[in-house]
Structure 1
Amino acid sequence: MDEDIIKKNNDLIEDSLEFCADIYEYYEADDINRFKNNYYKKNKQIQRDEAEKVIIVKEQADEEAGFKLYAKIVAVILAAMILARLVNAYLIQETIVNGSSMNPTFESSDKLLIDKLFYKMGALERYDIIVFHYHDSSIYIKRVIGLPGEKITIRKGRVYVNGRILDDDPLINDVMHYSGIAKNGVKLGKDEYFVLGDNRNNSYDSRYEQVGVIKQGSIIGKAWIRIFPISKFGAVN
């Protein structure tokens, strides 16, 4: 009798312990899962926050890089414009031939580059082609024939320098029909030049009183390079 009771009690105790073990295992597993879920949720939120920070930083960096690039482009354009103005004002200028007074050397619409600086490092020479102001509103292009201090005379269609015929004139065979102010000779001052167009009988030049001799201060520059038409590209002679 006593043994049966003891056995039943032992069975009950074992069942109770097993039940408690199951309960403990269940809650322990639940806590772990809850911890894991909380950890993963928290970790994901941290990752999202970090990703948003990275995106914001990248956007700010892109904006700064874009602004710097824009600023550089503007600076380059402004520098190029200023440089172009300086070059045009003091070094080189483009000009377009208008008319036939310099035929056959130049045709109308030929484009030339004018040296405005370097030619000043030496004296202009006879037969140089220069560009100069005419009455402040027009620009003429002609060939230098008479130099400072010389006396230029045109007789029988030929050019004489200080009483001697200019026999190396490349256009000596083009007999001029009009002598103008050079008929009786023109004495040039220390800063004056006598110019003629290469189309001698169709050129408005120093022979005409309205043009006259060219002062040094009126000269813009010396014809340097023909840039158009391309087929005739090259140095000007």
Structure 2
Amino acid sequence: MARSKNELWEWIKALAIAVILAAAIRYFFFAPIVVDGDSMMPTLYNQDRMIVNKVGYMIGEPDRFDIVVFHATEDKDYIKRIIGLPGDEIEYKDDVLYINGKAYDEPYLEEYKVQYPDGPLTENFTLEEKTGHQKVPDGHLFVLGDNRRFSKDSRHIGMIPKEEVLGKTNVVYWPLQDLRKVK
């Protein structure tokens, strides 16, 4: 009898440790997220399931073109691509991205540019026109969805404080047939 009580107690302890470890990993290191909507198409699709890496930005800084998850509202997280870092001047002209006066390629948009030959994928704008700031302020990021015609992003909600960023994401794990790393 004493042996079965000991064995039961060991199982309970092992299960408790496993639950605590899983919760800690999810809260501090990695978390799942479901893409909600079409704002990141063609890179990400509605209902894609991804892993958010929360550790990367604890030890490093966000990079331009990273795909990030951030708190957009109290109860809603968004997934978008970083376009502007602190100190950057942003401009779109004739469907070309200019950062600090230099043109940048956006290969992840090529598929959509072909689908929309009737006009630009991204309308002409400057950072100042959209946000009232000439440069991205310290501690903030300028983000856009890849589906530029149908994305609610920094052009509409303003720049994102870095502390609202949950982490970087670049792995789709579900649906299984779409398992891939995205750029």
User: Above 0.5 in TM-score?
Assistant: yes
Q: For 1:82-93, what aligned pairs fall within 5 Å after superposition?
A: 82-93=20-31
In 2, the alpha carbon distance for the partners of 1:91 and 1:84 equals 10
The residue type paired with residue 163 of structure 1 is G
Q: Which has the larger radius of gyration?
A: 1
In the alignment, does 2:157 pair up with 1:219?
no
Instruction: Give the structure 2 partner of residue 206 of structure 1.
Output: 154
Q: Is the 8 A contact 1:182 1:207 kept in 2?
A: no
Bigger relative contact order, structure 1 or 2 (CA pairs below 8 A, ≥6 apart) = 2
Amino acid at match of 1:102: M
**d(CA) in 2 for partners of 1:103, 1:75:** 45
8 A Cα contact 1:97 1:110, kept in partner:
yes
Alpha-carbon shift at residue 122 of structure 1 (Å): 2.3
| Structure 1 position 164, deviation (Å) | 2.8
Q: 1:121-200 maps to which residues of 2 (within 5 A)?
A: 121-166=59-104, 168-170=105-107, 171=109, 173=113, 175-177=121-123, 179=125, 183=129, 186-200=134-148
Distance 2:121 2:44 in 1: 19
Q: Which runs of 5+ in 2 are unaligned?
A: 114-119
The TM-score normalised by the length of structure 2 is 0.85
2:56–2:168 CA contact under 8 A, matched in 1: no
Q: 1:59-78: CA deviations, max 9, x gaps?
A: xxxx1121112111111111
Alignment-derived partner of residue 105 in structure 1: 43
Task: Kindly provide the amino acid, as one letter, of the partner of residue 10 in structure 2.
Answer: K
Determine if contact 1:180/1:207 at 8 Å carries over to the other structure. Answer: no
Q: The residue matched to 2:31 in structure 1 has which SS?
A: strand
TM-score computed with the length of structure 1 as normaliser: 0.67
Partner of residue 117, structure 2:
none
Separation (CA, whole Å) in 2 of partners of 1:123 and 1:109 = 28
Distance 1:229 1:96 in 2: 11
More strand by share: 2
How big is each residue's C-alpha offset from its partner over 1:31-84, in whole Å with a ceiling of 9 and x where there is no partner?
xxxxxxxxxxxxxxxxxxxxxxxxxxxxxxxx1121112111111111111111
- Greater share of helix residues, 1 or 2? 1
